[in-house]
Structure 1
Amino acid sequence: MPAQGRVERRGSRVPAEVGLTQLRGIAQVALSSSPWTGLLFTVGLFADSWRIGVYGLLGAAASALAAAVLGADRRGLANGLEGYCGCLTAIAVVVRLGASWRTAVLAVLAAAVCAVVSAAAGRLLGRAGLPALTAPFCLVAGALAIALPPAAAAAAPPAATDRFTTLSATQLGHAFCNGVGQVFFLDKWYAGLILLAGLLVASRTAAVAAACGSAVAILTACSLGLPADRISAGLYGYNAVLVAIALGATFLTLTPWTAGYATLAAVASVPFTAAWQAFAQPSGGSPFTWPFVVTTWLFLAAAPALDRPGISFEKAK
């Protein structure tokens, strides 16, 4: 083939490769590398709000570009591992400050910083065989949340009661869907269903794990007497959803015993989320996905010490 033909063919593939990397970066928020999952996730973002959709794409692109310029591993870059934290960080910025040119610049810079933090976290945690997960996003977005005033003052989370929280059928349905949607800060129930469909495209196991994680979180939150409106909004469910995907469909070999282990972790993430909300609120912060990150780390770190079949896990991807 003539050299010019090879160059033209290579040039025609570049936009497609960039697009696939972008979609995989969004999909990796839920530990998937499927571009179809990323496409449906993107649809879900825009279904909730065009601002969230635009900033999610912007953050994923900025983080991946910064990682590429800094010489990140090409395989990880192609699989979207350099984009997901930037995606979440940019969304967190626009949710907090609203859309503007200033917010866009800040979102791009914060997403680029995520690339550096991700590299450091991967190097440090890799020695322990633990994945970085969304810790870089939590660190960068957490610092911004404390440093920058929100567009509107956040109300203090209501205290739990000593009674089982009852939900109407509508609240129950919204809680289930929003538990998935709040992974991306989405508060429209149908956007959560689109995200669940995106998971189903890549892996039935991941979709079932996410659904079970949301259901377990609802039951746990109601048992703790947590406020019905916050349960319905999915604020206690999204960390449990991510924990269930990580332990039930990604890092552990799936067996009945490990499914129970993942369920226990999802249960543990709910009071952890409520406690983190109470801790972070006075400073204007948010738990973000720290409960997911820390719970998953603890359960993965404990796994080798447990003498059960199927407890061995894949190391950080």
Structure 2
Amino acid sequence: MPAEGRGERQGRRIPARIGRIQLLGIAQVALSPSPWTGLLFTAGLFADDWRIGVYGMLGTATSALAAAVLGADREGLTGGLEGYCGCLTAIAVVVRLGASWRTALLAVAAATVCAVVGAAAGRLLGRAGLPPLTAPFCLVAGVLAIALPTAAPAAPPVSAHGFTTLSATQLGHAFCDGIGQVFFLDKWYAGLILLAGLLVASRSAAVAAACGSALAVLTACAMGLPADRIGAGLYGYNAVLVAIALAATFLTLTPWTAGYATLAAVASVPFTAAWQAFVQPSGGSPFTWPFVVTTWLFLAAAPALDRPGISFEKAK
């Protein structure tokens, strides 16, 4: 083939590769390695709010580009592992401050810092055999939430007495929003689009996400937590991510590990509630810290348990 023809084909492949990296960066928020998942996730972001979609794509691209400039591992870069924290951070910025050219610049700067923090976290946590997960996002977004307050600090949520009762509509919204809140989405149908995105890549991941959300709703109701916050999915998204991580990503799925993941998902709910009560008076947010810390603890304990199925797959 003439050199001219090869160059033309190579030029066509570059945009396709960039698009694939972009989609994978969004998909990896939920630990998925599928560009089709990323495509449906992107559709879910825009279905909820076009600003969230735009900022999510901007943050993903910025973080991946910054990581490439820093000399990130090629496999991790092409697999989307350098973009997902930037995606979440940029969305957190627009949700908190609204869309403007100033917040766009802030989102770009924050996503760039995510790449640096992610590189450091990967090196430090790699020595312990633990993945960084969304810790870089939590660190950067947490600093911004405290440094850039936009309203008076909210009072901690007040628990109800006994079992919290929800209507059928509230239950449905709680289940869907528990998945959607992974990306700060608050429209129930956006959560269903995300669930469909998981399903196209992995039935196990989709089932884990659905079970994690349902378990979170039941646990939060049993704890007597506020009905409006349960219905908004604010106690569910960390459980969803924990269930995906332990039941469909890092551990070999067996009946024993399924129970182990169930325990972890349930444990993440009071952790989330406690973290919310701790940070809200200062105007902060737990973000996905409960998911990160719970998953680290359960992964660190797994090899010592010596049970069937406790063997690590490749960390993401």
TM-score bracket, normalised by the shorter chain, equals: over 0.9
- Write the letter of the residue equivalent to 1:82: E
- Write the letter of the residue equivalent to 2:20: L
Aligned partners of 1:210 and 1:245 also within 8 Å: yes
CA distance in 1, matches of 2:76, 2:149: 35
Q: Deviations over 1:47-95 (max 9, x none)?
A: 0001100000000000001011111111111110000000000000001
Shift of 1:157: 3.4
Aligned partners of 2:59 and 2:87 also within 8 Å: yes
Aligned partners of 2:153 and 2:281 also within 8 Å: no
What does residue 230 of structure 1 align with? 229
Aligned partners of 2:154 and 2:283 also within 8 Å: no
1:186-225 aligned at under 5 Å gives the runs 186-225=185-224
What does residue 275 of structure 2 align with? 276
1:1-317 aligned at under 5 Å gives the runs 1-150=1-150, 152-153=151-152, 155-317=154-316
Q: Deviations over 1:227-246 (max 9, x none)?
A: 00000000000000000000
Shift of 1:294: 0.1
Q: Deviations over 1:278-310 (max 9, x none)?
A: 111121110000000000000000001102111
Aligned partners of 2:178 and 2:191 also within 8 Å: yes
**3-state DSSP class of the match of 1:130?**
coil
**3-state DSSP class of the match of 2:156?**
coil
CA distance in 2, matches of 1:206, 1:215: 14
Q: Deviations over 1:29-54 (max 9, x none)?
A: 00011000000000000000011000
What count of residue pairs does the alignment treat as equivalent? 316
CA distance in 1, matches of 2:51, 2:153: 20
Shift of 1:312: 1.5
Aligned partners of 1:126 and 1:316 also within 8 Å: no
Shift of 1:177: 0.1
CA distance in 1, matches of 2:43, 2:314: 31
CA distance in 2, matches of 1:50, 1:257: 42
Aligned partners of 2:60 and 2:85 also within 8 Å: yes
- Write the letter of the residue equivalent to 1:185: F
- Write the letter of the residue equivalent to 1:224: M
**3-state DSSP class of the match of 2:163?**
coil
CA distance in 2, matches of 1:309, 1:33: 26
CA distance in 2, matches of 1:268, 1:33: 26
**3-state DSSP class of the match of 1:239?**
helix
**3-state DSSP class of the match of 1:222?**
helix
Aligned partners of 1:131 and 1:315 also within 8 Å: no
Shift of 1:314: 2.3
CA distance in 1, matches of 2:177, 2:194: 10
Shift of 1:316: 2.5
Aligned partners of 2:26 and 2:80 also within 8 Å: yes
Give the TM-score of the pair, scaled to structure 1: 0.98
CA RMSD of aligned residues (A): 0.9
Shift of 1:315: 4.5
Aligned partners of 1:118 and 1:136 also within 8 Å: yes
Structure 2 segments unaligned to the other structure (5+ residues): none
- Write the letter of the residue equivalent to 2:176: C
CA distance in 1, matches of 2:265, 2:122: 24
Shift of 1:161: 2.7
Identity among equivalent positions (%) equals 87
CA distance in 2, matches of 1:73, 1:305: 30
- Write the letter of the residue equivalent to 1:250: T
CA distance in 2, matches of 1:277, 1:175: 17
Aligned partners of 1:132 and 1:316 also within 8 Å: no
CA distance in 2, matches of 1:47, 1:90: 17
Q: Deviations over 1:148-197 (max 9, x none)?
A: 122x4453232213310000000000000000000000000000000000
